[in-house]
Chains A and B, each alone.
Chain A
């Protein structure tokens, strides 16, 4: 099992389009993918799960991955999340 913590710094959080993008990538892995926010755990392969988390700015997300290809999944999903959640912040520096 791997666990990584990500702080959401952009102003929209993990919304519609990025959420779909995340789910698509997560679904490519065998391992189970979970996103956790304030003790709410959702399935990272479920679009409605991710949307209902409606992660907002300033909150902290935990990405938990369990399974055979967890290392590979953790690496690419973490990268993707960083890109989605911090994109704008970087642009504004």
Chain B
């Protein structure tokens, strides 16, 4: 999966960020100014006090009206569920405490409305931002945004007015919910933001509006000039500044294809999951955030093959409660029903650290305290999650999956704790699905070799290639000195997959694949031929993979995979697969596989 390197002119600059919302945009840079406004203390004459108070009240009322207008405008583009986000803003605007305190301050201290409001709001903002609790910290962002908005209303004239922004890409440190909606109304093509939390209200709205957005860039803004041309690739997470004519042309083509395929794909989403010669398959999505379920649903009839639950635990500086977990799981399950949702129990450790788990610094974290090992050592934490999952199971079709299993003993231990949770719920008369399927990730070589022993204790396997490749090849992908040795097409990896499939078949349990490899179009044929019938991929790849599987013949795929198994190096295998793809999908060049690296 090597990428061709092209010699680019010096002026072109490529920056890697993180994808917040997928898609592609080409356009002109529009720098959104950072509007930090901290009014200074200015006193007014006693006879002006009443006028200041009136000005303040009017500004609050006007902002409420603005917000209601925005809610109306955005209305049909986002679900009712998302619109509730604006309720929090309305409640803060309308907060009687804030209004009274501001009026009292103007009245007693003879200060300007903007200064009084700013002081009152800032003190709440600080208290809440200091709370060490991410949920509350994000409310501090809401307070800040509202504060700025109202101050702009009071001082007048500084309200940002956006005119037609078709073909522009908005660059900003941060952007508030008011501006996102206003910018979208003016057809902004994409966003590049320095620091916006993935779970903030702004982030949720950007995703709901389906505007391509990349985050996590730093020190980029100072290098920009208004109206520079730039490209946002919300599929690879890259931003290309001042692209050459050649690059622009390439991306115009990509954009065209992306749009075309998207249209075509909308149709594919609801078509049967069978190959050209009638062999069934399943394509599911991997998600991390509950609101990603919307993208899955919009794509068609898809389930979720991997719901990572780590984010729930990494977001806050405390453990999420059973209740909070139950709410998030239920939200996803209800939306995806009747299709299944496979929830993977907490999989932290290794490269994913959690603030509340005071684990010691390990010399070799990927071989350390991680995955199921942590959960088995912390039965209370594990039980809470299992109870939340079980309780959510009444709302749809849930499966439970344990990560990093390396021996039958771990399965028995985990299932034992699951049974305890079930007994507890029964005793409390709380409903749950008593036939909930229990499966494991196959991602450690020992689990492949012992697959027969494991298969007897579980209802399904899901191969996690990201870790399986790292452990099989003994390569840390993040270490640049050896990362070139990390290769999904390594013959040893293929044999691992093949063996797992054979054992699963023998014990009559389904086996899926949920690593990045499942979403690589180049691997689709090979995996299907190896006997993988369940692919769990990132939501943007759902339709792509489904389309490929629908248009090939299973018998052909089997021949291809048999040939691959006989080859002895990943280079040969990749070359052969590229060659085959060209023959089977003539119009599709390497870039159109979807830019997987």
Chain A partners chain B: yes
Interchain nearest-CB distance for A58 vs B (Å): 13
In the complex, chain A residues whose CB is within 8 Å of the CB of B51: none
A15 to B321, CA, bound (A): 12
**Residue in A20, A43, A54, A92 whose beta carbon sits within 8 Å of that of B91 in the complex:** A20
Judge whether A51 is part of the interface by a CB distance below 8 angstroms. Answer: yes
In the complex, chain A residues whose CB is within 8 Å of the CB of B143: 48
In the complex, chain A residues whose CB is within 8 Å of the CB of B87: 20
Are A43 and B322 in touch, CB under 8 angstroms? no
Contact with A along B519-546 (1 / 0, CB 8 A): 0000000000000000000000000000
Judge whether A88 is part of the interface by a CB distance below 8 angstroms. Answer: yes
Judge whether B479 is part of the interface by a CB distance below 8 angstroms. Answer: no
In the complex, chain A residues whose CB is within 8 Å of the CB of B428: 91, 93
Task: Among B139, B143, B318, B430, find the residue whose CB has the most chain A CB atoms closer than 10 A.
Answer: B139
Interfacial residues, chain B to chain A (CB-CB below 8 A):
87-88, 91-92, 95-98, 124, 127-128, 131, 133, 135-136, 139, 143, 318-319, 321-324, 387, 428, 430
Judge whether A2 is part of the interface by a CB distance below 8 angstroms. Answer: no
Nearest-neighbor residue (CB-CB) of A46 within chain B: B97
A54 to B92, CA, bound (A): 16
Are B135 and A46 in touch, CB under 8 angstroms? no
Interchain nearest-CB distance for A49 vs B (Å): 5
In the complex, chain A residues whose CB is within 8 Å of the CB of B97: 42-43, 45-46, 48-49
In the complex, chain B residues whose CB is within 8 Å of the CB of A48: 92, 95, 97-98, 124, 128, 143
Interface residues in A23-70 (C-beta closer than 8 Å to B): 23, 42-43, 45-49, 51-52, 54
Are A51 and B322 in touch, CB under 8 angstroms? no
Are A92 and B322 in touch, CB under 8 angstroms? yes
Interface residues in A61-88 (C-beta closer than 8 Å to B): 87-88
Judge whether A11 is part of the interface by a CB distance below 8 angstroms. Answer: yes
Are B324 and A54 in touch, CB under 8 angstroms? no
Interfacial residues, chain A to chain B (CB-CB below 8 A):
10-12, 15-16, 20, 23, 42-43, 45-49, 51-52, 54, 87-88, 91-93
In the complex, chain B residues whose CB is within 8 Å of the CB of A43: 96-97
Task: Among A11, A23, A91, find the residue whose CB has the most chain B CB atoms closer than 10 A.
Answer: A91
Are B124 and A52 in touch, CB under 8 angstroms? yes
In the complex with contacts A10-B321, A47-B91, A88-B323, A52-B96 CB distance below 8 A: no
Are A91 and B322 in touch, CB under 8 angstroms? yes
A3 to B143, CA, bound (A): 31
A92 to B323, CA, bound (A): 11
Task: Among A15, A16, A47, A54, find the residue whose CB has the most chain B CB atoms closer than 10 A.
Answer: A47
Nearest-neighbor residue (CB-CB) of A11 within chain B: B321
In the complex, chain B residues whose CB is within 8 Å of the CB of A15: 133, 135-136
In the complex with contacts A54-B131, A54-B133, A91-B430 CB distance below 8 A: yes
A22 to B91, CA, bound (A): 12
9 A–B contacts, CB within 8 A, in A order: A10-B323, A12-B318, A12-B321, A15-B133, A20-B87, A45-B97, A46-B97, A48-B95, A48-B98
